[in-house]
A and B are shown apart, each in its own frame.
Chain A
Amino acid sequence: MEETKAVEHAHPTAGTYLRVAAILTVLTVIEVGVFYVPAFHPFLAPVLLFLSAVKFAIVVMFYMHLKMDSRFFTLVFGGPLLLASAVMLGLLFLYGVLTLGH
């Protein structure tokens, strides 16, 4: 049990959880807003992918506690996540959805 205490840290407070929820809500509103504003359409994909990645990271770090928990959990989750991302990119290039150059 002593070892466990050494690697598992205290979770955030309710106040932190509420602040995280507020940030996620604002980011979601921005996402939907960007979708409806024609001026953003040339940059729609990079902006939305960035916002989505930020939301993903915030939930994983604060709600799933990877920021406070053992780094080994990050490895156990991050490894397959990177593999999945690499497989996705590979397939999208293979089938011509993404291309290098033009």
Chain B
Amino acid sequence: MSHAATTHHTSMGLDSRKMAFWAFIGSECLLFGTLISTYLIYQGRSVSGPTPGEILNIPVTSISTFDLLMSSLWMVLALAAVQRGDMKWAKVWLLGVAIGGAIFLGFQVYEFTSFVHEGLTLKTNLFGATFFVLTGTHGAHVTVGVLWMLTLWYRAMRGKLGPQHAVTVEIAGLYWHFVDVVWIAIFTLVYLLHK
């Protein structure tokens, strides 16, 4: 059965998978909204250190932020390549997104490890609890995204991904860009506007 034959559309003529995924992303806004709110409410209320000002490494996080932004560019280039049937470049960009995400996760592992060495854990204070839950949840989302990109890349390598699957790649892209926009908010609210 061809892919086109299995594609479903809503009564409005919209792809039902995209519609469902946008609804999912909407629900994710509420999840991250509550986590960010919790972080902000408890910000500056820790009775013991380390505090954000003592421990956050802005230069390192700026580099990881740039890396995630660039991975979003590679994602749209991958989608554009799939749409025009240029699978050679689609494979390159999809692998690039996965590597970009893995580099971001590497930065996060480095950050978490150094924080633990400096005495900040989930149990240390309110900052540690809310920071690790918020950024850890985001990191878990990035991990899912990396695995998703690798799956698409593997399918492309086996010749099982083509222009007829452009919506599949577009939906993966929606997820990846959402992870990016959440980090845009976290970078500003947690790192640059810390107390």
Task: Name A residues whose Cβ lies closer than 8 Å to a Cβ of B.
Answer: 1-4, 6-8, 11-14, 17-18, 20-21, 24-25, 28, 31-32, 35, 44-45, 48-49, 51-52, 55-56, 59-60, 62-65, 69-70, 72-73, 76-77, 79-81, 83-85, 87-88, 91-92, 95, 97
* Pair B188/A11 contact, Cβ less than 8 Å: no
* Pair A95/B41 contact, Cβ less than 8 Å: yes
Q: How far is the CA of A59 from the CA of B40 in the complex (A)?
A: 24
Show 8 A/B contacts (Cβ-Cβ < 8 Å), sorted by A: A20-B73, A52-B184, A62-B76, A72-B14, A77-B22, A85-B33, A88-B40, A92-B40
7 cross-chain pairs, A with B, having the tightest CB-CB distances, nearest first: A3-B13, A80-B26, A84-B33, A52-B188, A21-B73, A84-B29, A76-B22
Q: Using an 8 Å CB-CB cutoff, how does the interface string of B171-187 with A read, 1 for contact, 0 for none?
A: 00110011011001101
Q: Using an 8 Å CB-CB cutoff, how does the interface string of B150-164 with A read, 1 for contact, 0 for none?
A: 000000000000000
User: Contacts A14-B77, A17-B80, A87-B34 given: A64-B41 contact, CB under 8 Å?
Assistant: no
Q: How far is the CA of A60 from the CA of B177 in the complex (A)?
A: 8
- Partner pick for B29 among A4, A52, A81, CB 8 A cutoff: A81
In the complex, chain B residues whose CB is within 8 Å of the CB of A55: 181, 184
Smallest Cβ-Cβ distance to A45: which chain B residue = B193
Number of interface residues of B (CB under 8 A): 50
Task: Name B residues whose Cβ lies closer than 8 Å to a Cβ of A.
Answer: 9, 12-15, 18-19, 22-23, 25-27, 29-30, 32-34, 36-37, 40-41, 43, 58, 62, 65-66, 69-70, 72-73, 75-77, 79-80, 83, 170, 173-174, 177-178, 180-181, 184-185, 187-189, 192-193
* Pair B62/A83 contact, Cβ less than 8 Å: no
Q: How far is the CB of B96 from chain A (nearest CB, A)?
A: 13
| Chain A interface main SS type | helix
* Pair A4/B9 contact, Cβ less than 8 Å: yes
* Pair B26/A59 contact, Cβ less than 8 Å: no
Smallest Cβ-Cβ distance to A84: which chain B residue = B33
Q: How far is the CA of A7 from the CA of B14 in the complex (A)?
A: 7
User: Contacts A8-B15, A17-B80, A91-B41 given: A28-B33 contact, CB under 8 Å?
Assistant: no
A-B pair count, CB < 8 Å, reads 138
Q: How far is the CA of A2 from the CA of B14 in the complex (A)?
A: 11
* Pair B26/A77 contact, Cβ less than 8 Å: yes
* Pair B184/A7 contact, Cβ less than 8 Å: no
- Partner pick for B58 among A13, A35, A49, A77, CB 8 A cutoff: A35
Smallest Cβ-Cβ distance to A96: which chain B residue = B41
In the complex, chain A residues whose CB is within 8 Å of the CB of B22: 73, 76-77
